[in-house]
Amino acid sequence: MNRRRGGVTLTLLCAMAVLGAPGLAGTAYAAPEPPSAQNRPEKSLEQVRKEIEDLYRQAGTATDAYNQAVADSKRQSDQIVALAKQIAAGQDRITVLKNRAGAAARAQYRSGGLPPAAQLAMSEDPTRFLDGADRLRQGEKATADTLTELNKTQADLEQYAKDATAHWQELEANRLKQEAAKNEVEKKIKAAEELESKLEAEEKARLLQLEQEAQYEAQKAWLNSGALKDVKGTATEAGKKAVQFATAQIGKPYVWGAEGPNGFDCSGLTSQAWLAAGKGIPRTSQEQLRLLKKVPLKEMRPGDLIIYFDDASHVAMYVGDGAMVHAPRPGRKVTMAGAGSMPIKAVVRPEA
């Protein structure tokens, strides 16, 4: 039974670019027969394909760095805003405490500033004096408490100011990282596009065919390894919502750094899909790998995320039947592909 299922799955999606309809989760992942191996191109075109693929991989890594710098900058900005509010509240509190301490000082001045023993000697009514002395002691304690709180509030303000300065420095550092990553992404994409621009129309078509053949062969090898044999997990309600969102984006362009609604990069698609399912997850594929729960491949279920390559530079969403949906790279659109069409590093579960 497992072999029959693997056989159906094996008829992969070399031409999945023509898929444009959402709602593919739960549908058997059928695909066209493998592209013909006849008339294979000269080695130079295959080398060009690998070089372009490598450039886009590097662009993907730089995109992850850019997205992380953006996320870090937002976090620093939020912390600076929170500190600014604390500083403003602390300054208001200091004003109140200073007014309270000033009122106590003025009251003492009006009493002549005499020590309690002298006031007792001069009092015509000792009982009345003793009541007043008790209130005086209470007032002195309140004044001491006010001064203690005033000193603590001032110390807190100094710490808030130091923290704010540190966050500003980190914000600037992240801005520089963001700019450097942006330049790296654009440089790699430009280099890849320049390589493609030198090809004739027929070569470009053949290049796409080579890309599809490479994916097909990788998926076939993955299935033949028995990797899918024990994968029988079913999607949870949240997982179904995430899959529905992701597959509804099929046909939209890959746009690096984008989180929709008109375009996505790989982790922008997966993070927004799970946000639509009611679960916020990290923005980048590397952080998704680091912070989400890892699950064995045999326990994989629709909605889980598949992290690819040793540097965790790509991520896709498993949709069942050996297929995944992802935003591949610049120049491509959100599509479905074989879950094993790229080297799998790990499977992670947002719901855990």
29 close to 322: Cβ distance less than 8 angstroms: yes
Catalytic residue annotation? 266, 314, 326
Helix H or strand E segment including 157: helix 126-197
Phi/psi-derived region of residue 309, left when phi > 0, alpha when psi is between -120 and 50, beta in every other case: left
Pairing type for strands 305-308 and 344-349 reads: antiparallel
CA 31 to chain CA centroid, nearest Å: 32
57 close to 211: Cβ distance less than 8 angstroms: no
- Burial pattern 259-290, b for ≥16 Cβ within 10 A else e, equals bbeebbbbbbbbbbbbbbbebebbbbbbbbbe
Instruction: Name 258's Cβ contacts closer than 8 Å, sequence gap at least 6.
Output: 264, 265, 268
- Tokens representing 310 are 């040793």
Hey, is 323 helix, strand or coil? strand
**Residue 297 identity:** L
312 close to 298: Cβ distance less than 8 angstroms: no
Helix H or strand E segment including 86: helix 43-110
- Tokens representing 234 are 């079913």
CA-wise closest residue to 344 among 2, 333, 304, 27 = 304
φ/ψ of residue 339, rounded to 5: -60, -25
CA-wise closest residue to 291 among 301, 299, 278, 281 = 281
250 close to 333: Cβ distance less than 8 angstroms: yes
